Amino acid sequence: MEKKAYQKTSEEVIQELASNAQQGLSNAEVQARLTKYGANVIEEAKQTTLLQKFINQFKDLMIGVLLVAAVIAAATGEIVDAIIILMVVVLNAIFGVFQEAKAEEAINALKEMAAPNANVIREGNIKSVKADELVPGDVILMEAGDIVPADLRLIETASLKIEEAALTGESVPVDKIAENLTDENLPLGDRKNLGYMNSNVTYGRGRGIVIGTGMQTEVGRIANMLENAEKSETPLQTNLRQLGKALTILILIIAVVVFAIGMLGRDESWVDMLLTAISLAVAAIPEGLPAIVTITLALGTTRMAKKHALMRKLPAVETLGSTEIIGSDKTGTLTQNKMTVEKFYVDQKLYNSSDDLNQSGQLLADILALNNDTKEIDNELVGDPTETALIQFNRDKGRNLVQLFSAKPRIDEIPFDSERKLMTTVHQVEHEDNLITVKGAPDQLLERVAKVLIDGEEVVLTSAIKEQILATNHDMATQALRVLAFAYRKMAQMPASLTSEDVENDLVFVGLIGMIDPERPEVAGAIAEAKTAGIKTLMITGDHRDTASAIAKRLGILDDNQKDAVITGAQLDELSDEVFNQKVDQYSVYARVAPEHKVRIVKAWQSRGKVVAMTGDGVNDAPALKTADIGVAMGITGTEVSKGASDMVLADDNFATIVDAVHEGRKVFTNIQKAIQYLLSANLGEVLTLFIMTLMGWSILAPVHILWINLITDTFPAIALGVEPGEPGIMNRKPRGRKSTFLSHGVKSAIIYQGILEGVLTLGVYWIGINYPVHANDAALAHADALTMAFVTLGLIQLFHAFSTKSVYQSIFTVGAFKNKAFNWAILLAAVLLGITIFVPGLNGLFHVTPLDWHQWLTVLGAGVLMVTIVEIVKLVQRRMFNKI
């Protein structure tokens, strides 16, 4: 099996690429390789034209139903209705085009991240060239502050550190080496002799040879994964598509049956019966539904934006409510992406960082600041995150570092290197011996220690004291702390040439510092709340297994008995997709993972039928964000790539905001469900009324009646239901999941019995009007009164019923019948619009209705009250019998 780049020696890589570490490539060879390999750029996403995007929006079945409704409305002379429906369709299409165009920004953002220039050796000369002109075999020089311009095999390093969090998820810069690595299948974060395109050099300098450009880099692989990622249909889109399909079939059947019955059993002309069938079809179509869904989602996004959750795609609002799994990146999402001192150890005692400093602690703090290369620019600390954390520790203690640096200026140093794992600085102290400070890995530093500082006394290092220090180091490491040891030595006469052998021995050990990228303070509570809501939280990180496990325990993702719930990327590679899909519910923490692992995790849960949300902030998160049912990017620390691939952006990078958004998503779904229950039960009542009247040979409601009722009852009250406050205990329910639809959880049965009840009550009022007419001596007027009573009853009964649909099972008195002011005004407006057809002279003639007397109004209003009463009794029985809430 051919060795990978990190397994080969630098000489082997140089030879394979026909290059030269000192001379680089010739200009002629560069041109030849540019032709062969292409420019060092990330290819843009495949673009579709605006016209293609616009046409694609009309392939949805529900949109087809609406277009048919527009044609029907126009055929019946209702031009205004037809125009309104078409406007809704076109606006939805325009919004869809906008969202599709936004989604293409993810891959293009990767292209914008590319390093603008690079220092390259060509024909023996150092040149600054555009990064897109680099080719495999080019020799690159790098130093602190540079962006790695391509994928490199490092061939020389001098204290080189590269920050790769955006790719690997590891918050601490990686110490780079030039030696080859022998292990197979190392994860990205462990390939210490490689540099990755778009990562940042934070310390030291190095030389590397280009082994991959453009789409052949790790970033290029991610771009390719992004372009080929399958974006699953959201639950909302699935529900609407299924509902549209079912309604289309139902509408066709109803129209054909009514037309056939009318032609066989009545003396109506075929034109009149066709118009009747059409009016019935219009009654069955909830033409306001897409507009109501869009408005409800839009209002939800507005509310969520006020809570720092910015929605990039409207359907994602509702998807949040059905989320069952949240796969979260650790660095910058669950943690603060900022190294912080948490513990310090002096005088054989372990202290919290907030504790006061004793004499030994003061000396330790001095060494933390002196043995440090952090720079301060505009009051901001710039440098290696580990070192900036040590300076911040001094700042938090209110210590005067300017005075310290002035009193003990640095005069020499031995930089850190990965072999000895130490850094040493020499400081001049007035009237005293020179002070030598040393920091590094505890095990390495203790090998050079002769004494230990205890309570201000330099005590000889015994094996017992050494074991205690190492045990403390181990305990801190198991808590996910990164531990550094600190020591000093005083020398009156410094050697002419400073070397490790001369000064890094006979040291006096002072103490240990334990640092961590701390968890966000609100995250543990948010994870607990998500657990109560039936949502499983996963941690997915590039960090080492022990670090990830310790952080997960601190956050409540793991408990002490879940040792087998942690899996590494290497272990994941050993599992087939089939085996992993079966075992995926066993794992809660994924450590040392690569981008393809994150996508695999998302797909494994999706294969189990789960709705998956994925959070993240780095380039490495983008493919998983796009693949997940809902991708959540960080707004502050997140890269433009992750934001472009996401459905939602957290403006405050606060994990707790996700839980707030889930609450809002659940509320949005239930409100849309209420609107659908209301619309479909009302439409079923209309259809049943017309169907039975046609079957019985009664005078039936005209198309103008049905269209007017639909206009006033399908619009304002239904939209107002979309802004209902959340029902009590909504976050104590289990997630709906992917299989749940708008008709689940009792909604279908409620639509059926409530629709039948509306129809029966309307027909009953018509029967009363026919059999107990006010104008008994005028048959035509009696029939007109009965039809008017049926028309008003069908309209008013829907307005009364709107109150009952505030909850499927809970009483309207529990949820608050008049709590929603927008709903109250909507009902009042609809009632006024219905009333003017009866009371306004001229309009009643246009609608073929007659004024009613108080007996008739009492009958009509009684039917409305009876509708609410019966529904409330049914709800009460359901609550008592089935323990519904």
Residue corresponding to tokens 């001379």? 23
First and final C-alpha spacing in the chain: 63
Contact 154, 207 (CB under 8 A): yes
Strands 309-311 and 200-212: unpaired
* Residue spans of beta strands (DSSP E) within 551-661: 566-568, 589-591, 612-616, 630-634, 648-650
Annotated catalytic residue within 329, 347, 517, 785: 329
Q: CA-CA distance, 643 to 626, in Å (whole number)?
A: 10
* Length of the chain measured in residues: 885
Kind plus residue range of the DSSP H or E element containing 487: strand 482-491
Q: Sign of torsion, CA 492 495 496 500?
A: negative
* Side-by-side strand order, sheet with 566-568: 309-311, 648-650, 630-634, 612-616, 325-329, 536-540, 589-591, 566-568
Amino acid identity for residue 61 in this structure: L
Backbone φ and ψ for 846, nearest 5 degrees, come out as -65, -35
Q: CA-CA distance, 780 to 750, in Å (whole number)?
A: 37
Q: Which tokens hold the place of 428?
A: 């001049």
Residue corresponding to tokens 């579709």? 48
Torsion of CA 412, 473, 328, 114, to 10 degrees: 20
Strands 507-516 and 536-540: unpaired
Strands 449-454 and 457-460: antiparallel
The strand pairing partners of 452, in sequence order, are 459, 509
Q: Which tokens hold the place of 372?
A: 């440090």
The full DSSP string for 151-212 is EEEEEEEEEEEEE-HHHH--SSPEEP--S----SS--GGG-TTEE-TT-EEEEEEEEEEEEE
Task: Specify the DSSP class assigned to residue 147.
Answer: B
Contact 687, 280 (CB under 8 A): yes
Q: CA-CA distance, 362 to 371, in Å (whole number)?
A: 14
Q: CA-CA distance, 439 to 752, in Å (whole number)?
A: 75
329 is catalytic: yes
Residue 873 CB neighbour total at 10 angstroms: 10
Torsion of CA 334, 337, 340, 342, to 10 degrees: 20
Torsion of CA 408, 436, 175, 15, to 10 degrees: 110
* Helices (runs of H) and strands (runs of E) counted in the chain: 34, 26
Contact 355, 346 (CB under 8 A): no
Q: CA-CA distance, 350 to 168, in Å (whole number)?
A: 32
Residues marked as catalytic = 329
